[in-house]
Amino acid sequence: MRGRFITLEGGEGAGKSTQARRLADALAAQGLPVLRTREPGGAPGAEAVRDVLLGAGPWDGVAECMLHFAARREHVARSITPALAAGIWVVCDRFADSTLAYQCFGQGVPRAVWDGLAEIALDGLRPDLTLVLDLAPEEGLARAAARGETNRYERMGLGFHARVRDGFRAIAAAEPARCTVLDATDTPEGVAAAILATVRSRLSPS
Ligand code: TMP
């Protein structure tokens, strides 16, 4: 049986990586085979593109979208699709919604660019479930800064991060069957419990 594809999305400092780890551990504890992965990255070439995207800039917005989708194509073709076909559950820290929120809502790249690249790169793949961790950008950026060194996106202004948050909320509102918005101001334990309850009710892992 095909595995399930779960993505975690949200702005900076929302706790996606922590929650991806907790969810992957919880599913594995139920005896399910799990791959935890991330974007940009998740395959050797995609990790190399990650270094480029998080370090150098500025980019033309369309070029930046193309780089994210080039990394994503590698990730999908080499890691995600083979894992799902082998019955493995894939827990992914960011996916295509991040490009829509950051590059289109945040940076103003036309939606048609995203639509075209998604059509080319994804072979129809879409997550079975997307968990959007929602947090005010002021708090998320403060959390990210407290972690230490910031990446190029984290250094973009508050207005940009407010548009990204609005973007994720709009994406979730447009696709309620796929997306759930969770309050990321809760404790890590509280968010983890809400995620597990959502996964159980939406995907019924054995
Ligand atoms: P993160 O792995 O720490 O979340 O960092 C990845 C950064 O890349 C984050 O600031 C969001 C950004 N990003 C985009 O702008 N577009 C994308 O498509 C993806 C996957 C990430």
137 CA distance to ligand 1 middle (Å): 15
With a 6 Å cutoff on the Cβ, whether 68 touches ligand 1 is: yes
**Residue 27, Cβ neighbours under 10 Å: how many?**
21
Q: Which two tokens stand for residue 160?
A: 């940009």
**Residue 72, Cβ neighbours under 10 Å: how many?**
28
Domain limits, the chain: 5-203
- Per-residue pLDDT at 191: 98
Strand partners, 9: 132
Proportion of the chain above pLDDT 70, given as a percent: 100
164 CA distance to ligand 1 middle (Å): 11
- Per-residue pLDDT at 206: 62
Q: Which two tokens stand for residue 181?
A: 């918005």
Pick the CATH number of 5-203 from 3.40.50.300, 3.30.450.260, 3.30.70.2860, 3.30.1330.40: 3.40.50.300
With a 6 Å cutoff on the Cβ, whether 50 touches ligand 1 is: no
**32-71, pLDDT tens digit by residue?**
999 999 999 999 999 999 999 998 888 999 999 999 999 9
d(CA 189, CA 172): 23
Q: Whose CA is nearest to atom 18 of ligand 1?
A: 99
**166-188, pLDDT tens digit by residue?**
999 999 999 999 999 999 999 99
d(CA 24, CA 36): 6
